[in-house]
A and B are shown apart, each in its own frame.
Chain A
Amino acid sequence: MSIPYSGTFKRSGGVVSAIGKQLKAVNLKAAKRITVKFDPFADNVTHTRNFLHYMSAKKIALTNTNCALKTEVVCDRSEPTIEITLAPSIAETEKIAKVTFKCGNLTCLEILQLLNKHISSKAPVDQIATTQTKLEKKSKKK
Protein backbone atom coordinates (compact mmCIF):
# COMPACT_ATOMS: atom_id res chain seq x y z
CA MET A 1 0.00 0.00 0.00
CA SER A 2 2.98 2.36 -0.41
CA ILE A 3 2.72 5.39 -2.64
CA PRO A 4 5.47 5.64 -5.21
CA TYR A 5 7.99 8.34 -4.37
CA SER A 6 7.26 11.72 -5.91
CA GLY A 7 9.47 14.74 -5.85
CA THR A 8 13.16 15.27 -6.36
CA PHE A 9 15.69 12.52 -5.86
CA LYS A 10 18.56 14.99 -5.54
CA ARG A 11 18.36 18.18 -3.52
CA SER A 12 19.57 21.48 -4.92
CA GLY A 13 23.02 22.57 -3.79
CA GLY A 14 22.01 26.17 -3.34
CA VAL A 15 22.61 29.40 -5.26
CA VAL A 16 26.38 29.08 -5.15
CA SER A 17 26.35 25.68 -6.84
CA ALA A 18 23.92 26.98 -9.44
CA ILE A 19 26.26 29.91 -10.20
CA GLY A 20 29.19 27.51 -10.41
CA LYS A 21 27.28 25.30 -12.85
CA GLN A 22 26.50 28.29 -15.07
CA LEU A 23 30.11 29.50 -14.95
CA LYS A 24 31.34 26.11 -16.12
CA ALA A 25 29.01 26.37 -19.09
CA VAL A 26 30.18 29.86 -20.12
CA ASN A 27 31.77 30.03 -23.57
CA LEU A 28 32.83 33.40 -24.90
CA LYS A 29 33.90 32.33 -28.38
CA ALA A 30 31.05 34.30 -29.94
CA ALA A 31 31.90 37.51 -28.09
CA LYS A 32 34.39 40.13 -29.20
CA ARG A 33 34.12 42.60 -26.35
CA ILE A 34 32.29 42.75 -23.02
CA THR A 35 31.70 46.18 -21.46
CA VAL A 36 30.35 46.34 -17.91
CA LYS A 37 29.10 49.77 -16.92
CA PHE A 38 28.04 50.53 -13.33
CA ASP A 39 27.73 53.34 -10.82
CA PRO A 40 29.30 52.23 -7.53
CA PHE A 41 27.03 54.49 -5.49
CA ALA A 42 23.79 53.13 -7.00
CA ASP A 43 21.62 50.74 -5.02
CA ASN A 44 21.42 47.67 -7.22
CA VAL A 45 25.04 47.12 -8.20
CA THR A 46 25.96 44.12 -6.01
CA HIS A 47 25.02 41.45 -8.54
CA THR A 48 26.67 43.25 -11.45
CA ARG A 49 29.89 43.62 -9.51
CA ASN A 50 29.78 39.96 -8.52
CA PHE A 51 29.20 39.00 -12.15
CA LEU A 52 32.19 41.14 -13.13
CA HIS A 53 34.32 39.41 -10.50
CA TYR A 54 33.38 35.98 -11.82
CA MET A 55 33.84 36.90 -15.49
CA SER A 56 37.34 38.22 -14.87
CA ALA A 57 38.54 34.76 -13.85
CA LYS A 58 41.33 33.23 -15.93
CA LYS A 59 39.36 30.10 -16.82
CA ILE A 60 36.65 32.08 -18.53
CA ALA A 61 39.15 34.34 -20.28
CA LEU A 62 40.81 31.20 -21.69
CA THR A 63 37.65 30.22 -23.60
CA ASN A 64 38.37 33.15 -25.90
CA THR A 65 41.65 35.01 -25.65
CA ASN A 66 40.52 37.62 -28.16
CA CYS A 67 37.56 38.70 -26.07
CA ALA A 68 38.25 41.87 -24.05
CA LEU A 69 36.55 42.61 -20.72
CA LYS A 70 36.22 46.34 -20.12
CA THR A 71 34.80 48.14 -17.09
CA GLU A 72 33.32 51.63 -17.04
CA VAL A 73 32.67 53.39 -13.76
CA VAL A 74 30.12 56.18 -14.10
CA CYS A 75 28.59 58.54 -11.55
CA ASP A 76 25.19 59.43 -13.00
CA ARG A 77 23.11 56.97 -10.90
CA SER A 78 22.28 55.08 -14.07
CA GLU A 79 21.26 51.42 -14.16
CA PRO A 80 24.13 48.94 -14.45
CA THR A 81 24.40 47.47 -17.96
CA ILE A 82 26.47 44.81 -19.65
CA GLU A 83 27.06 45.21 -23.38
CA ILE A 84 28.45 42.33 -25.38
CA THR A 85 29.64 42.94 -28.93
CA LEU A 86 29.48 39.75 -30.97
CA ALA A 87 32.30 38.58 -33.19
CA PRO A 88 31.79 39.70 -36.80
CA SER A 89 31.43 36.15 -38.16
CA ILE A 90 28.67 35.36 -35.65
CA ALA A 91 27.06 38.78 -36.10
CA GLU A 92 26.66 38.13 -39.83
CA THR A 93 24.96 34.77 -39.41
CA GLU A 94 22.73 35.80 -36.48
CA LYS A 95 22.03 39.35 -37.75
CA ILE A 96 22.71 40.68 -34.23
CA ALA A 97 25.62 43.02 -33.55
CA LYS A 98 25.27 43.68 -29.82
CA VAL A 99 23.53 42.12 -26.85
CA THR A 100 22.75 44.40 -23.89
CA PHE A 101 21.76 43.23 -20.43
CA LYS A 102 20.07 45.77 -18.15
CA CYS A 103 21.05 44.42 -14.76
CA GLY A 104 19.18 46.75 -12.42
CA ASN A 105 16.78 44.05 -11.30
CA LEU A 106 18.69 40.90 -12.22
CA THR A 107 20.56 38.65 -9.84
CA CYS A 108 24.02 37.29 -10.65
CA LEU A 109 22.59 33.83 -11.39
CA GLU A 110 20.00 35.26 -13.77
CA ILE A 111 22.62 37.30 -15.64
CA LEU A 112 24.74 34.18 -16.09
CA GLN A 113 21.76 32.14 -17.24
CA LEU A 114 20.86 34.78 -19.83
CA LEU A 115 24.48 34.98 -20.93
CA ASN A 116 24.60 31.24 -21.48
CA LYS A 117 21.28 31.32 -23.32
CA HIS A 118 22.25 34.13 -25.71
CA ILE A 119 26.04 34.05 -26.04
CA SER A 120 27.38 30.63 -25.12
CA SER A 121 24.81 28.95 -27.35
CA LYS A 122 26.11 30.90 -30.33
CA ALA A 123 29.70 29.81 -29.85
CA PRO A 124 31.08 28.07 -32.97
CA VAL A 125 31.86 24.39 -32.43
CA ASP A 126 35.55 23.51 -32.73
CA GLN A 127 36.21 21.13 -35.60
CA ILE A 128 38.78 18.54 -34.64
CA ALA A 129 41.20 18.06 -37.55
CA THR A 130 41.54 14.35 -38.24
CA THR A 131 44.86 13.24 -39.68
CA GLN A 132 45.27 9.90 -41.30
CA THR A 133 48.35 7.80 -40.54
CA LYS A 134 50.33 6.08 -43.31
CA LEU A 135 49.10 2.64 -42.25
CA GLU A 136 45.48 3.69 -42.44
CA LYS A 137 46.02 5.12 -45.90
CA LYS A 138 47.71 1.90 -47.05
CA SER A 139 44.92 -0.26 -45.63
CA LYS A 140 42.34 1.95 -47.35
CA LYS A 141 44.10 1.58 -50.69
CA LYS A 142 44.07 -2.18 -50.31
Chain B
Amino acid sequence: MAKAFLQTSTPFLIAKRFRGKINIQKPRKPHFEKQLLLDLSKPFFGPRKNTLPEISLCEKGKKEWAKIEIDNPFERILARECLEWFNTSKMVVFIHVNSISMEEKTPVYAALKKNNMHLRTYGKKIVKMATTGTRYEAVNHLFTSHQNVIFGQPENSAKMFNILKKAPQLIVMGGIIQDKLLSKNELVEFSKLPNLEVARSQLCSILQSAGSSIVGQLNQSQQMLVGHLEKHVEIQNSSKADSSPSQDNAEDSPAS
Protein backbone atom coordinates (compact mmCIF):
# COMPACT_ATOMS: atom_id res chain seq x y z
CA MET B 1 0.00 0.00 0.00
CA ALA B 2 2.80 2.39 0.93
CA LYS B 3 4.52 1.70 -2.39
CA ALA B 4 1.51 3.01 -4.36
CA PHE B 5 2.08 6.49 -2.96
CA LEU B 6 4.99 8.73 -3.74
CA GLN B 7 7.73 8.30 -1.21
CA THR B 8 8.58 11.63 0.42
CA SER B 9 11.91 12.13 2.10
CA THR B 10 10.82 12.88 5.61
CA PRO B 11 14.08 14.46 6.97
CA PHE B 12 13.36 17.56 4.79
CA LEU B 13 9.86 17.92 6.18
CA ILE B 14 9.46 20.31 9.07
CA ALA B 15 6.02 20.44 10.64
CA LYS B 16 4.91 24.07 10.53
CA ARG B 17 1.23 23.30 11.04
CA PHE B 18 -0.38 23.17 14.45
CA ARG B 19 2.67 24.92 15.78
CA GLY B 20 0.89 27.63 17.62
CA LYS B 21 3.25 30.53 16.88
CA ILE B 22 3.91 31.42 13.24
CA ASN B 23 6.53 33.89 12.09
CA ILE B 24 5.25 36.78 9.99
CA GLN B 25 7.10 39.82 11.31
CA LYS B 26 10.61 38.60 10.54
CA PRO B 27 10.44 36.34 7.47
CA ARG B 28 13.59 34.48 6.58
CA LYS B 29 15.56 35.98 3.68
CA PRO B 30 15.04 33.70 0.70
CA HIS B 31 17.85 31.97 -1.16
CA PHE B 32 19.46 34.05 -3.90
CA GLU B 33 17.95 32.06 -6.74
CA LYS B 34 14.53 32.06 -5.11
CA GLN B 35 14.83 35.82 -4.73
CA LEU B 36 15.74 36.12 -8.44
CA LEU B 37 12.68 34.14 -9.42
CA LEU B 38 10.47 36.22 -7.20
CA ASP B 39 11.82 39.48 -8.64
CA LEU B 40 11.47 38.32 -12.22
CA SER B 41 7.95 37.04 -11.80
CA LYS B 42 6.67 40.05 -9.90
CA PRO B 43 3.36 41.15 -11.48
CA PHE B 44 3.27 44.62 -13.04
CA PHE B 45 0.03 46.54 -12.95
CA GLY B 46 0.18 49.54 -15.25
CA PRO B 47 -1.66 52.80 -14.73
CA ARG B 48 -5.42 52.49 -14.39
CA LYS B 49 -7.36 52.96 -17.60
CA ASN B 50 -9.58 55.65 -16.06
CA THR B 51 -6.47 57.75 -15.33
CA LEU B 52 -5.14 57.56 -18.91
CA PRO B 53 -6.21 60.03 -21.63
CA GLU B 54 -8.72 58.59 -24.10
CA ILE B 55 -6.41 58.91 -27.06
CA SER B 56 -4.00 56.29 -25.72
CA LEU B 57 -6.90 53.86 -25.23
CA CYS B 58 -7.88 53.89 -28.93
CA GLU B 59 -6.93 50.62 -30.71
CA LYS B 60 -8.01 51.45 -34.26
CA GLY B 61 -4.75 52.76 -35.69
CA LYS B 62 -2.51 50.03 -34.35
CA LYS B 63 -1.10 47.36 -36.68
CA GLU B 64 -0.86 44.14 -34.75
CA TRP B 65 2.06 42.45 -36.39
CA ALA B 66 3.90 45.43 -37.81
CA LYS B 67 7.01 44.46 -39.77
CA ILE B 68 10.02 45.49 -37.82
CA GLU B 69 13.03 46.35 -39.97
CA ILE B 70 15.89 44.23 -38.75
CA ASP B 71 19.39 45.10 -39.92
CA ASN B 72 20.75 42.02 -41.67
CA PRO B 73 24.55 42.16 -42.16
CA PHE B 74 24.46 39.53 -44.92
CA GLU B 75 22.06 41.71 -46.91
CA ARG B 76 24.46 44.61 -46.49
CA ILE B 77 27.32 42.47 -47.81
CA LEU B 78 25.25 41.40 -50.81
CA ALA B 79 24.26 45.01 -51.49
CA ARG B 80 27.91 46.05 -51.41
CA GLU B 81 28.81 43.23 -53.81
CA CYS B 82 25.98 44.29 -56.15
CA LEU B 83 27.19 47.89 -56.16
CA GLU B 84 30.73 46.71 -56.95
CA TRP B 85 29.46 44.77 -59.93
CA PHE B 86 27.62 47.88 -61.10
CA ASN B 87 30.75 49.99 -60.75
CA THR B 88 33.24 47.62 -62.37
CA SER B 89 31.23 46.52 -65.43
CA LYS B 90 30.88 49.02 -68.26
CA MET B 91 27.87 47.16 -69.65
CA VAL B 92 24.92 46.17 -67.44
CA VAL B 93 21.88 44.58 -69.10
CA PHE B 94 18.58 43.95 -67.32
CA ILE B 95 16.51 41.02 -68.48
CA HIS B 96 13.00 39.93 -67.60
CA VAL B 97 12.88 36.25 -66.76
CA ASN B 98 9.93 34.12 -67.84
CA SER B 99 9.34 30.65 -66.49
CA ILE B 100 12.58 28.77 -67.27
CA SER B 101 14.15 25.67 -65.76
CA MET B 102 17.76 25.64 -64.57
CA GLU B 103 18.34 22.92 -67.20
CA GLU B 104 17.70 25.45 -69.93
CA LYS B 105 19.29 28.36 -68.13
CA THR B 106 22.65 26.73 -67.39
CA PRO B 107 23.89 26.55 -71.02
CA VAL B 108 23.08 30.25 -71.40
CA TYR B 109 24.94 31.01 -68.19
CA ALA B 110 27.92 28.96 -69.37
CA ALA B 111 27.98 30.58 -72.83
CA LEU B 112 27.87 34.04 -71.31
CA LYS B 113 30.64 33.16 -68.86
CA LYS B 114 32.88 31.96 -71.72
CA ASN B 115 32.51 35.42 -73.23
CA ASN B 116 33.41 37.19 -69.98
CA MET B 117 29.82 38.12 -69.12
CA HIS B 118 28.16 37.27 -65.82
CA LEU B 119 24.46 36.45 -65.38
CA ARG B 120 23.48 37.25 -61.82
CA THR B 121 20.28 37.36 -59.81
CA TYR B 122 19.69 39.94 -57.10
CA GLY B 123 16.47 40.54 -55.20
CA LYS B 124 14.45 43.72 -55.12
CA LYS B 125 15.44 44.61 -51.56
CA ILE B 126 19.17 44.09 -52.14
CA VAL B 127 19.19 46.18 -55.30
CA LYS B 128 17.24 48.92 -53.53
CA MET B 129 19.79 48.89 -50.73
CA ALA B 130 22.67 48.97 -53.20
CA THR B 131 21.40 51.68 -55.53
CA THR B 132 19.55 54.25 -53.39
CA GLY B 133 21.71 57.33 -53.14
CA THR B 134 23.99 56.33 -56.01
CA ARG B 135 23.67 57.31 -59.68
CA TYR B 136 22.03 53.94 -60.47
CA GLU B 137 18.80 54.80 -58.66
CA ALA B 138 16.65 54.72 -61.81
CA VAL B 139 17.32 51.00 -62.12
CA ASN B 140 15.09 50.26 -59.10
CA HIS B 141 12.06 50.86 -61.26
CA LEU B 142 12.78 47.73 -63.30
CA PHE B 143 12.92 45.37 -60.35
CA THR B 144 9.23 44.63 -59.90
CA SER B 145 8.77 41.08 -61.20
CA HIS B 146 11.30 38.34 -61.99
CA GLN B 147 14.56 39.67 -63.41
CA ASN B 148 18.23 38.90 -63.89
CA VAL B 149 21.22 41.12 -64.58
CA ILE B 150 24.11 40.56 -66.99
CA PHE B 151 27.37 42.32 -66.15
CA GLY B 152 29.99 42.60 -68.90
CA GLN B 153 31.96 44.84 -71.23
CA PRO B 154 30.42 46.72 -74.18
CA GLU B 155 32.53 44.86 -76.80
CA ASN B 156 30.54 41.66 -76.16
CA SER B 157 27.07 43.13 -76.69
CA ALA B 158 26.58 41.52 -80.12
CA LYS B 159 27.61 38.09 -78.76
CA MET B 160 25.24 38.55 -75.85
CA PHE B 161 22.27 39.08 -78.15
CA ASN B 162 23.28 35.98 -80.14
CA ILE B 163 23.43 33.88 -76.97
CA LEU B 164 20.12 35.22 -75.67
CA LYS B 165 18.40 34.31 -78.95
CA LYS B 166 18.69 30.67 -77.88
CA ALA B 167 16.73 31.34 -74.67
CA PRO B 168 13.48 33.09 -75.60
CA GLN B 169 12.43 33.13 -71.96
CA LEU B 170 15.08 35.75 -71.18
CA ILE B 171 13.82 39.10 -72.45
CA VAL B 172 16.07 42.16 -72.62
CA MET B 173 14.43 45.21 -71.05
CA GLY B 174 17.19 47.79 -71.08
CA GLY B 175 20.75 48.41 -70.08
CA ILE B 176 23.50 50.74 -68.93
CA ILE B 177 26.48 51.21 -71.27
CA GLN B 178 29.30 53.44 -70.07
CA ASP B 179 27.10 55.18 -67.48
CA LYS B 180 24.30 55.83 -69.96
CA LEU B 181 20.87 54.23 -69.56
CA LEU B 182 19.64 52.78 -72.85
CA SER B 183 16.33 51.24 -73.87
CA LYS B 184 16.08 47.88 -75.61
CA ASN B 185 16.04 49.31 -79.14
CA GLU B 186 19.02 51.52 -78.41
CA LEU B 187 20.89 48.51 -77.04
CA VAL B 188 20.19 46.54 -80.20
CA GLU B 189 21.45 49.47 -82.30
CA PHE B 190 24.57 49.73 -80.15
CA SER B 191 25.32 46.04 -80.62
CA LYS B 192 25.11 46.47 -84.41
CA LEU B 193 27.68 49.31 -84.40
CA PRO B 194 31.14 48.39 -85.76
CA ASN B 195 34.29 48.07 -83.73
CA LEU B 196 35.77 51.28 -82.25
CA GLU B 197 38.85 51.22 -84.55
CA VAL B 198 36.67 50.69 -87.60
CA ALA B 199 34.50 53.63 -86.54
CA ARG B 200 37.57 55.80 -86.05
CA SER B 201 38.94 54.90 -89.49
CA GLN B 202 35.54 55.71 -91.01
CA LEU B 203 35.63 59.10 -89.25
CA CYS B 204 39.17 59.77 -90.59
CA SER B 205 38.13 58.92 -94.13
CA ILE B 206 35.12 61.27 -93.86
CA LEU B 207 37.35 64.10 -92.64
CA GLN B 208 39.85 63.47 -95.43
CA SER B 209 37.19 63.22 -98.10
CA ALA B 210 36.68 67.00 -98.27
CA GLY B 211 40.35 67.74 -99.03
CA SER B 212 40.81 64.78 -101.36
CA SER B 213 37.76 65.76 -103.42
CA ILE B 214 39.23 69.28 -104.00
CA VAL B 215 42.60 67.78 -104.99
CA GLY B 216 40.85 65.43 -107.38
CA GLN B 217 38.86 68.21 -109.00
CA LEU B 218 41.99 70.38 -109.45
CA ASN B 219 43.90 67.52 -111.09
CA GLN B 220 40.95 66.44 -113.22
CA SER B 221 41.72 68.47 -116.39
CA GLN B 222 45.47 67.64 -116.33
CA GLN B 223 44.76 63.93 -115.92
CA MET B 224 42.32 64.02 -118.82
CA LEU B 225 44.96 65.62 -121.02
CA VAL B 226 47.56 63.01 -119.97
CA GLY B 227 45.06 60.26 -120.71
CA HIS B 228 44.29 61.56 -124.16
CA LEU B 229 48.04 61.91 -124.97
CA GLU B 230 48.74 58.36 -123.87
CA LYS B 231 45.96 57.05 -126.06
CA HIS B 232 47.33 59.09 -128.98
CA VAL B 233 50.83 57.58 -128.42
CA GLU B 234 49.36 54.08 -128.31
CA ILE B 235 47.45 54.59 -131.53
CA GLN B 236 50.59 55.92 -133.26
CA ASN B 237 52.68 53.00 -131.96
CA SER B 238 50.13 50.49 -133.12
CA SER B 239 49.93 52.11 -136.58
CA LYS B 240 53.79 52.09 -136.86
CA ALA B 241 53.83 48.47 -135.82
CA ASP B 242 51.25 47.67 -138.52
CA SER B 243 53.25 49.40 -141.23
CA SER B 244 56.77 48.08 -140.24
CA PRO B 245 55.99 44.29 -140.33
CA SER B 246 54.63 44.70 -143.89
CA GLN B 247 58.01 46.43 -144.90
CA ASP B 248 59.98 43.65 -143.10
CA ASN B 249 57.98 41.01 -144.94
CA ALA B 250 58.73 42.68 -148.18
CA GLU B 251 62.55 42.76 -147.37
CA ASP B 252 62.54 39.17 -146.16
CA SER B 253 60.86 37.60 -149.13
CA PRO B 254 63.43 38.73 -151.77
CA ALA B 255 66.24 37.55 -149.39
CA SER B 256 64.72 34.05 -149.05
By DSSP majority rule, is chain B's interface helix, strand, loop, or mixed?
Answer: mixed
Interface string of B173-217 (1 = CB under 8 A from A): 110000000011110000000000000000000000000000000
Interface: B237 (CB within 8 A): no
A54 to B144, CA, bound (A): 15
Which residues of A lie under 8 Å from residue B184 when comparing CB positions? Answer: 73, 75
- B58-66, B94-102, B219-227, B245-253: which lies at the interface: B94-102
CB pair B145–A73 under 8 Å, yes or no, is no
Number of A-B contacts (CB under 8 A): 48
Which residue of chain B has its CB nearest to the CB of A58? B99
Interface: A52 (CB within 8 A): yes
Q: Which chain B residues (81-103) contact chain A, with CB distance < 8 Å?
A: 94, 96-100
Interface: A129 (CB within 8 A): no
Given contacts A40-B142, A46-B145, A75-B183, whether A56 and B169 have CB atoms under 8 Å apart is yes
Given contacts A73-B171, A73-B172, A73-B173, whether A56 and B142 have CB atoms under 8 Å apart is no
Interface: B42 (CB within 8 A): no
Given A49, A58, A71, A75, which contacts B145 in the complex, CB threshold below 8 Å? A49
B146 shortest CB reach to chain A, Å: 5
Which residues of A lie under 8 Å from residue B97 when comparing CB positions? Answer: 53
B205 shortest CB reach to chain A, Å: 33
Which residues of B lie under 8 Å from residue A53 when comparing CB positions? Answer: 97-99, 145-146
Which residues of B lie under 8 Å from residue A71 when comparing CB positions? Answer: 96, 98, 171
A58 to B103, CA, bound (A): 13
**Chain A interface residue count, Cβ-Cβ cutoff 8 angstroms:** 15
Which residue of chain B has its CB nearest to the CB of A68? B168
A106 shortest CB reach to chain B, Å: 15
Which residue of chain B has its CB nearest to the CB of A51? B145
Which residues of A lie under 8 Å from residue B141 when comparing CB positions? Answer: 40-41
Given contacts A40-B96, A56-B99, A71-B171, whether A46 and B183 have CB atoms under 8 Å apart is no
CB pair A41–B145 under 8 Å, yes or no, is no
A79 shortest CB reach to chain B, Å: 16
Count chain B CB atoms within 10 A of each CB in A41, A45, A49, A56 and give the residue with the most.
Answer: A49
A116 to B32, CA, bound (A): 71
A7 shortest CB reach to chain B, Å: 22
Q: Which chain B residues (134-162) contact chain A, with CB distance < 8 Å?
A: 141-142, 144-146
* Size class of the contact patch on chain B: 20 to 34
Interface: A78 (CB within 8 A): no
Count chain A CB atoms within 10 A of each CB in B94, B100, B183 and give the residue with the most.
Answer: B183
Given contacts A41-B142, A49-B144, whether A75 and B185 have CB atoms under 8 Å apart is yes
A67 to B175, CA, bound (A): 30
Which residues of B lie under 8 Å from residue A1 when comparing CB positions? Answer: none
Interface string of A39-63 (1 = CB under 8 A from B): 0110001100110111011100000
Which residue of chain B has its CB nearest to the CB of A69? B98
CB pair A57–B183 under 8 Å, yes or no, is no
A58 to B142, CA, bound (A): 25
Which residues of B lie under 8 Å from residue A57 when comparing CB positions? Answer: 99
A53 to B96, CA, bound (A): 9
A41 to B96, CA, bound (A): 12
Which residue of chain B has its CB nearest to the CB of A59? B99
CB pair A46–B142 under 8 Å, yes or no, is no
Which residues of A lie under 8 Å from residue B144 when comparing CB positions? Answer: 45-46, 49
Which residues of B lie under 8 Å from residue A56 when comparing CB positions? Answer: 98-100, 169
B24 shortest CB reach to chain A, Å: 53
- Chain A to chain B contacts (Cβ below 8 Å), 9 pairs: A40-B141, A40-B142, A50-B145, A52-B145, A53-B146, A56-B98, A56-B100, A57-B99, A73-B171
